[in-house]
Structure 1
Amino acid sequence: MMKNLLISVMYCALLCPLLASAEDLSLTNGEWPPFTSENYRDYGFISRVVAEAYKLEGINVKYTFLPWKRALQEAREGDIWVGSVAWSKADGRPDHFLFSEPIIVLTDVFFHRKDLPFDWNSFEDLKPYRIGATIGYSYGKDFSEAEAKGLITVERISTDESNFKKLAQGRINLFPCVLEVGYEILAHNLPSGVANSITNHPKALRSVGYHVIITRKYPQAERYIAAFNRGLQKLKDSGRYEQYLEGIVEGHYRRESDEATK
């Protein structure tokens, strides 16, 4: 009895310093289902991967969900949150942030109504169309330059969901979005009649990696990026990364309330 008690005391003595040494990392996040969402289990696939990768390195991730433009601004300032998740290397961001290895690589496509005959090969082909876009999002260097030069007509509003509603109503002609994100929104956030009226063009606008970013203002930015990269590799080596990825198809991240309203 005394021996077992002694073992328990020694175990606690060893474990408690480890628990106490765990540190918190505050990151901004936003709505981008099924990859990030305050309303999804584990906050979506990307949020889960980031949290689990850091956990393997003894770091606890704390998320706050904000509109994407503000999420980036707050992370850049580094006063409360020192970084963010799911960002591409675009629009000068590497000047202000350190980037991790890609969490995932995804493809953007143009969504459009099925009753619109649409094809494109270059940005010249997009001139006749009204294109929706989401505030705070980058759709790549070529898109940004075409938008800035007025080569394409772009109308920006606050959310992807609102853009899909405008698309269904014919108020815009095209909306660029990550393929999986687009169909997740259509299937689970909009009426079935809306989803059935919209399709996507097969040509990729771009394929891009999405990363953890830590502001360069933070003294330990390099250490946190390195920690994530190590944790991500551990997840992949263990097979857990693929399991988490399969969870998207299996609907793991959607809560029961979401399923009930389909």
Structure 2
Amino acid sequence: MVLFLILAVCLWSPPSLAVNAGKVIHLLTMEAPPFMSDSLPEKGAAVHALRQIFKKNGYDLKVTFTPYLRAKIQALQKDDVSGFFPAAEENITTGYVLSKIMYVTPWGFAERKDKPIHWNQPEDLLPYKIGNVMGYELSRVLAPAQKKKKFQIENVSSDEQNLLKLARKRVDLAFIDATMFEYLMKSSENLRPYQNKLQINAKIIRMDEYGVAFKNSGKGKAHLDVFNRLIQKEEFHRLVELYFKTHMPE
């Protein structure tokens, strides 16, 4: 009887593991707290929301963190990776297809409270130094004016570094996601001394729409179909907001 049970388990296990392996969706992403971060609970709000939606539908989400510009290249090179996120229509490159939109978020400029900047057209920003994180699509904000004029843009490697440069008066504005600004001002030890000195500029620049860039071949195309079938923007937003209530500092 014992031998029969052992044989039964051995015969049953491989197919089960094969099925589970076939339902793993591996995506690359970047450090962008509170949405995605290897150091946050459940890897951040966006990863948590995606994982919950996939999980209830029988899929497992695997996420690997890498610099954003590198993710576009590495995803194409790695057979076990299906794509990268977040992705917008403007940064989809050859070899990828953009999924359904899963999240919409406001972008603007952070500024010092003692030096608010009033502007209407991109040309109004010419006198100011603007901080930008490498890989962010600031050019979309300044086009087509940037074709005629030279803006003062200083690139940095992270949002925290960008805000620190702003607080220390090395730049006049910092291009940033409004939700990320709120999170960093509450959670960063380095920014704590400046909590009451920075704010988001009154002019919201745009609402960005994000999805996942899936590879336009093989497993990527199959997982694109799965994603578009399972993901509903309303559910994703609800799970992200729930994460913020649970994990965001007051």
Q: TM-score, normalised by structure 2?
A: 0.83
Structure 2 CA distance for partners of 1:151 and 1:251, relative to 1, 3 Å: farther
| Identical aligned residues as a percent | 26
- What is residue 21 of structure 1 aligned with on the other side? 19
Match of residue 238 from structure 2: 242
Structure 2 unpaired stretches of 5+: none
Distance 2:204 2:237 in 1: 25
Gaps of 5+ in 1: 1-5
Q: TM-score, normalised by structure 1?
A: 0.80
Instruction: Please report how far the alpha carbon of residue 89 of structure 1 lies from its aligned counterpart in structure 2 after TM superposition.
Output: 1.4
Superposed displacement of residue 246, structure 1: 2.4
Q: How far, CA to CA, are the matches of 1:146 and 1:96 in structure 2? A: 30
1:59 Cα deviation after fit = 2.8
Contact 1:90 1:140 survives alignment (8 Å) = no
Specify the code of the residue in structure 2 equivalent to 1:40: L
Whole-Å separation in 2 of the counterparts to 1:19 and 1:28: 23
Cα separation, 2, equivalents of 1:80 and 1:154: 37
What aligned pairs does 1:22-101 form with structure 2 within 5 A after superposition?
Answer: 22=20, 23=22, 24-79=24-79, 81-91=81-91, 93=92, 95-101=94-100
**Alpha-carbon spacing, 1:243–1:66, altered in 2? closer, same or farther (3 Å):** closer
Please tell me whether the aligned partners of residues 103 and 209 of structure 2 are also in contact (alpha carbons under 8 angstroms). Answer: yes
55-64 vs 171-180, which moves further: 55-64
CA contact (8 A) 1:129 1:173 kept: yes
Deviation per residue, 1:213-244 (Å, 9 max, x gap): 1122x3232321121122223x95xx685244
1:201/1:79 CA distance change after superposition, 3 Å: same
> Which residue number in structure 1 is paired with residue 176 of structure 2?
177
1:140-179 equivalence runs, <5 A: 141-143=140-142, 145-147=144-146, 150-179=149-178
- Counterpart position of 1:227: 226
Q: Distance between the aligned counterparts of 1:128 and 1:177, measured in 2?
A: 19
Secondary structure (helix, strand or coil) at the match of 1:182 reads helix
Query: Which moved further from structure 2: 140-149 or 47-56?
Result: 140-149
- Alignment partner, residue 3 of structure 1: none
CA RMSD, Structure 1 to Structure 2 (Å): 2.9
By how many angstroms is 1:151 displaced? 3.8
Change beyond 3 A, Cα 1:149–1:39 = farther
State the one-letter code of the partner of 2:241.
L
Larger deviation: 220-229 or 54-63?
54-63
The CA distance in 1 between the partners of 2:87 and 2:64, in whole Å, is 15
Distance in 2, Cα, partners of 1:240 & 1:73 = 27
Partner of residue 130, structure 1: 129
Counterpart residue type for residue 64 of structure 1 = T
- Paired positions, count: 241
Is the CA contact (8 Å cut-off) linking 1:86 and 1:212 kept in structure 2? yes
| SS of 1:84 mapped into structure 2 | strand
Q: 1:156 & 1:111 partners in 2: Cα distance?
A: 15
Change (3 A) 1:77 1:204: farther
CA distance change for structure 1 residues 140 and 100 in 2, over 3 Å: closer, same or farther? farther
